Amino acid sequence: MERSAGDDRPLSDRDLMVRLAAGDREALPPLMERHYRRLYRIALAYLRNPDDALDAVQETFVKAFQNAVRWDRASEVGPWLSRIAVNHAIDRYRREKRRRQTLTPFDDEARELPSTDQPSPERTALGRELGVRIAAALRALPERQRAVFVLRHYEEHTLEEIAGVLGLSLGTVKSSLHRAIRRLRERLAGLSA
């Protein structure tokens, strides 16, 4: 853990960001240690693929280093990183969507398999089918609704935090979440019994 000079306290996120902005790469590992799990969960919930999610986390920290000088010192670091991760996930999803349009239906189905990188004995055929249906339901949501839903449901951000991360008004966040849940309920009704 990085510590302040002559002080036993670990450096705060803000201190680390200031060092990053000055081009100090050593500030990156402690910042990553604090945030990479959370960012991975966000990216995984959005992209539904462990490799793509890891890639998104990697690129989030690369961009954080490159854009540290533009970070507003008054803002919180966590939501700022979340915003980079969500934006990267959205970009990646769009690219992937374009690419998938050229694939065969079988390839497409394979991409929608649940988010496990290794086959598990516990993963039954029923569970696999369920994962496919859930992935398809999330995929069918418009981007903004999906981002809002992921941040709320998988990361338990407050509506205010989501508004800050995505740069939306509170009302828009509320209505997006409302619509996302309604849509998911329509598509997944019956599976949850």
- Choose between 14 and 41: whose C-beta lies nearer to another protein: 41
* Nearest distance from C-beta of residue 74 to another protein, angstroms: 26
Three-state SS string over the chain comes to: CCECCCCCCECCHHHHHHHHHCCCHHHHHHHHHHHHHHHHHHHHHHHCCHHHHHHHHHHHHHHHHHCHHHCCCCCCHHHHHHHHHHHHHHHHHHHHHHHHCCCCHHHHHHHCCCCCCCCCCCCCHHHHHHHHHHHHHHHCCCHHHHHHHHHHHCCCCCHHHHHHHHCCCHHHHHHHHHHHHHHHHHHHCCCCC
* Nearest distance from C-beta of residue 167 to another protein, angstroms: 19
Which residues are within 8 A (CB) of 20 and not within 5 positions of it... i.e. 6 or more apart? Answer: 27, 28, 31, 64, 65, 68
- Choose between 14 and 133: whose C-beta lies nearer to another protein: 133
Closest to 76 (Cα-Cα) out of 43, 50, 38 = 38
* Nearest distance from C-beta of residue 72 to another protein, angstroms: 23
- Choose between 74 and 189: whose C-beta lies nearer to another protein: 189
- Choose between 18 and 136: whose C-beta lies nearer to another protein: 136
* Nearest distance from C-beta of residue 50 to another protein, angstroms: 6
Residues that bind another protein (CB under 8 A): 23, 25-26, 28-29, 32-33, 36-37, 40-41, 44-45, 50-51, 53-55, 57-59, 61-62, 65-66, 114-115, 117-118, 130-131, 134, 138, 152-154, 158-159, 174, 177-178, 181-182, 184-185, 188-189, 191-193
* Nearest distance from C-beta of residue 40 to another protein, angstroms: 4
- Choose between 14 and 128: whose C-beta lies nearer to another protein: 128
